[in-house]
Amino acid sequence: MLKEVEQFAQEFLEFSKDRPIRIISHHDTDGITSAAILAKTFKRLDKKFSIRIVKGLEEGTIKEELKRQPKEVILFSDLASGSVDYFQDLAEPIFILDHHEIDKSKLNDKIKIINPHLTDSPEDNEATGAGICYFFSKAISHDNQDLASLAIIGMIGDRHESNLSKVNQKIVEDANDLKIKKGLVIYPATRPLRRALEWSTSPYIPGVTGNGPGAMEILRETGINFDKSLLDLSEEEMSKLITAVMIRRAQHNKESDILGNLYILKFFNTKEDVREISTLVNACSRLGYSDIAISYCLENEKAKTQALDIYTEYKQELVSGLRVAEKMDKIKGKGFVILNAKDQIKDAIVGTICSMLSSSPTYTEGTILIGMAYNEDKIKVSARIVGQEGRNLKEVLEKTVIKFKTNNPESIAEVGGHHFAAGCLVEKSKEESFIETLKKELEIEIVKL
Ligand SMILES: [Mn+2]
């Protein structure tokens, strides 16, 4: 893939010689770090550019952006592979750095693209949007090697760290400031454990998560100093703590859920846990402050203060959202739970709330959790599964939407995601009809098992 990236970079530089660049990127951590890498790269080249961050690429957005041609050069990062349908009659080439699934048959010579799925060995080349942007940046100049840290943040954001592909391994080697330590995957690993344990929602630790005295108790029991961070622990202390957490999670006794690598980076000149940075960036962007998220990634001091404020607000929002979700009336069926929060939980966090609930011991493995929240005239639907086994959620939602559309042909409902986390948007006016279809689909799937 790296050879192809080099060629792509040459072609891109040639084509953008006298034109400003328009970067269009995704609103999650991977997309934000992608945009930050590109911004820094073009700044260093003294090139003019602008950035637009979007939740998804809708037809309207694409049309709007293509109007900027031929004055500007369009570069998509961490998205657009799923939108090749809209790129069939291009007058000018567009450039894409992305890792999402793609339909090869719809490519044409106006679509300039780097995507691991299009290479000879997709597995070796498995990378995130930020990873691909990093290779692009490094192909332009070796001096951009310092941007590997941003690619690492994107990698954690998209959860690529548990099984590093060959190219991801390269990024890890390039990131000079990165430290990796095996241990309990509670974050931030850089802060006092009494706090980190209390705030740990993933993994969820019964009696400790959200429970200050419980967090102190587990530390007392293991003889660990309250103010030590995970990073400070000796091997012996780490294994004692792991045992104590495992005992409290007896019903979920899978080591793989709580053990892994801790990633520590130097950021704003202090050691930071990459999981924490990633969550913070994601929070800022999802709450509508993608500009602050990008500036924070570029280590702007003013943005740091703002980003930390937003992050605090976000954590409070999550805690109150969790409370709402726990108290709310739910639609329960065999193997599934639907939380229709309407306007009681923000659409931006309903997916995160479902993820948090899916790691709590309230529900049995394999249970499908569906969260629904209003987003103006639409409803955001998020599906998560408890544990790591069970039905393919993207398929469940896709089948639901197909059936839903036979009764509601004018609906614009669209599904995104993957096996363990999927979502869709559907018209608010069709709420009842959608829930009915969804329930039927969830019940059918159970019969098959
Ligand atoms: Mn991504």
pLDDT of residue 253: 60
Which three-class secondary structure state does DSSP give residue 108?
coil
Domain 2-173 in CATH 3.90.1640.30: yes
> Is 356 within 8 Å of 204 (Cβ atoms)?
yes
Using one digit for the tens of pLDDT, what is the confidence trace for 20-35? Answer: 999 999 999 999 999 9
Cα of 25 to ligand 1 centre, how many Å?
10
Backbone angles phi, psi at 188, to 5 degrees: -75, 135
Burial (0-12, 13-18, 19+ Cβ within 10 Å), 18: exposed
* pTM for the full predicted model: 0.83
Cα of 100 to ligand 1 centre, how many Å?
7
pLDDT above 90 (res 418): no
Using one digit for the tens of pLDDT, what is the confidence trace for 39-57? Answer: 999 999 999 999 999 988 9
Cα of 4 to ligand 1 centre, how many Å?
20
Residues of the chain with CATH 3.10.310.40: 329-448
pLDDT above 60 (res 448): no
With bands split at pLDDT 50, 70 and 90, how would you rate the model's confidence at 447? low
Cα of 33 to ligand 1 centre, how many Å?
10
Using one digit for the tens of pLDDT, what is the confidence trace for 348-386? Answer: 889 989 988 887 777 888 899 999 999 999 999 999 998
Q: 394: how many CB neighbours lie within 10 A of its CB? A: 19
Cα of 200 to ligand 1 centre, how many Å?
24
Using one digit for the tens of pLDDT, what is the confidence trace for 283-298? Answer: 999 889 999 999 999 9
Residues of the chain with CATH 1.10.8.50: 179-322
pLDDT of residue 449: 47
Cα of 128 to ligand 1 centre, how many Å?
5
Q: The tokens 């159970």 sit on which residue?
A: 446
What is the share, in percent, of the chain residues with pLDDT greater than 70?
Answer: 98
Burial (0-12, 13-18, 19+ Cβ within 10 Å), 219: buried
Element (H, E) at 185: none
Cα of 47 to ligand 1 centre, how many Å?
25
> Is 407 within 8 Å of 433 (Cβ atoms)?
yes
pLDDT of residue 6: 97
Topology, domain 179-322: Helicase, Ruva Protein; domain 3 (1.10.8)
Measured between its terminal Cα atoms, the distance across the chain in Å is 40
Element (H, E) at 405: helix 393-407
Question: Higher pLDDT residue, 322 or 17?
Answer: 17
Cα of 133 to ligand 1 centre, how many Å?
11
Residues of the chain with CATH 3.90.1640.30: 2-173
- Average pLDDT of the segment spanning 142-158: 97
Cα of 367 to ligand 1 centre, how many Å?
26
pLDDT above 70 (res 328): yes
- Average pLDDT of the segment spanning 296-311: 96
Cα of 281 to ligand 1 centre, how many Å?
14
d(CA 115, CA 444): 36
Cα of 424 to ligand 1 centre, how many Å?
17
Topology, domain 329-448: Diaminopimelate Epimerase; Chain A, domain 1 (3.10.310)
> Is 114 within 8 Å of 4 (Cβ atoms)?
yes
Paired tokens of 18: 């006298």
Cα of 41 to ligand 1 centre, how many Å?
19
Average pLDDT score, the chain = 92
Residue type present at position 205:
I
